[in-house]
């Protein structure tokens, strides 16, 4: 029994088409995975000159957040802010303001992370000098009235200066604590 080439030709063509189909399927799957990975790094919303105000139960403003630009990333539900400004005013008249080069807001937790040339300013209405803290990173938990950093920080109020590594500012207890490497210069207020 002899096999003729005419009989093998259709079988060879089917094998070539099957191999080509498998190759095309692999190429298409790899391309769609690359597209999906690239899409995760793309923002789904971009807003310029943004201002958000959170209202309390009585309708009064609890805090406001503004930024030159906001980018929302759906992959991790994060929001990145360019030149953010956070401001919280208390009923007693104390205003806490934070500015930075960049910021990240964690959705639904009322937490914000500020990076790059961070300035925290706390002003009181009684005429005392503002308290200012400068650092490179700051974690603000607005709902807990708590501000933290694990980086070097310099705090000034009038001519008094403190510096150290790590800080926690707790509005509820009205305490500021520095964790390590604390140095300072304190000018006592002279009473008349």
Low-confidence residues of the chain: pLDDT under 70: 1-8, 31-40, 107-109, 189-192
- Do the Cβ atoms of 133 and 113 come closer than 8 Å? no
Closest CA to 75 of 110, 109, 39, 32: 39
pLDDT, residue 48, reads: 92
Read off the pLDDT of residues 134-180 as tens digits, 9 standing for 90 and up.
999 999 887 788 889 999 999 998 888 989 999 998 878 888 888 99
Spell out the domains of the chain, with CATH numbers in brackets.
45-185 (2.60.450.10)
Sign, CA torsion 89/94/99/104: negative
Rounded-to-integer distance, Cα 13 and Cα 1, Å? 23
pLDDT, residue 136, reads: 95
- Residue 116: CA count within 13 A, CB half-sphere: 10
| 17-to-10, 21, 27, 31, 84 alpha-carbon distances in Å | 11, 6, 15, 21, 58
- For 145-156, letters b (16+ CB in 10 Å) and e give bbbbbeebbebb
Contacts of 16 (CB under 8 A, 6+ apart): none
pLDDT, residue 108, reads: 63
pTM of the shown model: 0.70
pLDDT, residue 192, reads: 61
Closest CA to 104 of 81, 126, 83: 81
């Amino acid at each position: 029994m002899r096999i003729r080439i005419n009989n093998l030709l259709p079988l060879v063509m089917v094998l070539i088409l099957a191999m080509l189909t498998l190759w095309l399927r692999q190429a298409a799957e790899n391309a769609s995975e690359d597209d999906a990975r690239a899409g995760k790094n793309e923002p789904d919303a971009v807003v310029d000159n943004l201002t958000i105000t959170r209202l309390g139960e009585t309708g009064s403003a609890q805090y406001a957040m503004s930024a030159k630009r906001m980018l929302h990333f759906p992959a991790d539900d994060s929001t990145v802010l360019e030149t953010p400004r956070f401001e919280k005013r208390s009923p007693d008249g104390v205003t806490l303001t934070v500015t930075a080069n960049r910021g990240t807001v964690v959705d639904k937790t009322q937490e914000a992370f500020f990076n790059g040339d961070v300035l925290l300013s706390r002003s009181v209405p009684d005429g005392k000098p503002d308290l200012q803290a400068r650092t490179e990173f700051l974690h603000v938990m607005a709902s807990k009235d708590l501000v933290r950093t694990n980086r070097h920080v310099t705090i000034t109020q009038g001519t008094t200066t403190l510096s150290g590594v790590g800080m926690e500012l707790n509005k509820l207890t009205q305490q500021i604590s520095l964790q390590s490497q604390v140095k300072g210069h304190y000018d006592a207020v002279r009473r008349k």
